[in-house]
Amino acid sequence: MPRLLILLTLPPDVTEQYRARLSRLFPDITIDVVADKAKAESAIKAADMLLTFGQMLKNLKFDLKDAVNLKWIQALGTGLDGITDQPALKPSVTVTSLHGVHGAPVSEAAMAGMLALSRDIPRFARNQDTRTWGRWPAKLLHEKTVGILGIGVIAEALAPKCKAFGMTVVGITSAKRQLASFDSMHGIDELPAVLPQLDYLVLLTPYSPATHHMIDAKVFAAMKPTAYLINVARGGVVDEDAMVAALRDKKIAGAALDVFENEPLPPDHPLWSMPNVIITTHQGGFCDTYVDLAMPILERNMRCFLNGDLKGMVNVARPAS
């Protein structure tokens, strides 16, 4: 009987939705559900299939070296760091992703970050805690310029939302093309020239060796001192030491950060205490309908896998060899 390991460090009621739905659809598979490293290290030895997030494997420092029977990993996210970069991942393992489902939740997270920074919502929250009545002018999104670095499904969902607020939308991408709702499109090599125009820089680019720390001290030096950074991509895209210095020295006005190089963000990290920073806990895509968004892809790929039809699977990021 095929065996599925669900390894998720999510609230139990969320994890149970995946188990229950897959169990109803595929009653002939055995499903193990774990949420910690020790139990996962034992369960992975018998697993034919693994359902998880790459970031969770990375956070748990979970090694696939004992996955002797593993044939397929279904990532519950788009980013595959933590999975495909594992030296122990065997060539015979197929890896699929949830590419295409994050347009709505992550684009809304980016908008929330821009609005919260512009209106200094954290300052209102702090004042509310102390019952302090304070007023200051909001910075409008209207007639501001947003640069979106990394053009894919999420960027295509974000751009029209920005246009609805009256913003100029600039795309920065490794593959230049014309898309609706973008006022201009630029190559990655043009980033230094584009940065001084931007009031907001939204990071959506995938993490890879090529994008590691691409947002560095030179980038912050080129940004307006009134500009904001929104990172809903991956923490490793940003040089955090350079970002902390830029925020401390007011080289940029603030940042809304959903992702970090090390997660959870250590309690002693200086970002926690910066008043011009909004921290969310890798929540960008995590939403009330995420299981609904995921299930069509999970069901199709599971049926294909059980039928031996690996070519029929969708979002194959790493085919077996």
135 is catalytic: no
- Alpha-carbon distance of 141 to 119, in angstroms, equals 10
From 234, 248, 300, 303, the catalytic residue: 234
Task: Name the residue among 255, 297, 262 with its Cα closest to residue 276.
Answer: 255
Token pair belonging to 165: 């607020």
From 99, 177, 269, 282, the catalytic residue: 282
- Alpha-carbon distance of 246 to 189, in angstroms, equals 22
239: CB partners within 8 A, 6+ apart: 213, 215, 216, 217
- Alpha carbon distances (Å) from 84 to 97, 187, 309: 11, 27, 21
Contact criterion met (CB below 8 Å) for 201 and 147: yes
Contact criterion met (CB below 8 Å) for 124 and 148: no
238: CB partners within 8 A, 6+ apart: 203, 213, 215, 229, 231, 261
131 is catalytic: no
- Catalytic machinery residues: 234, 282
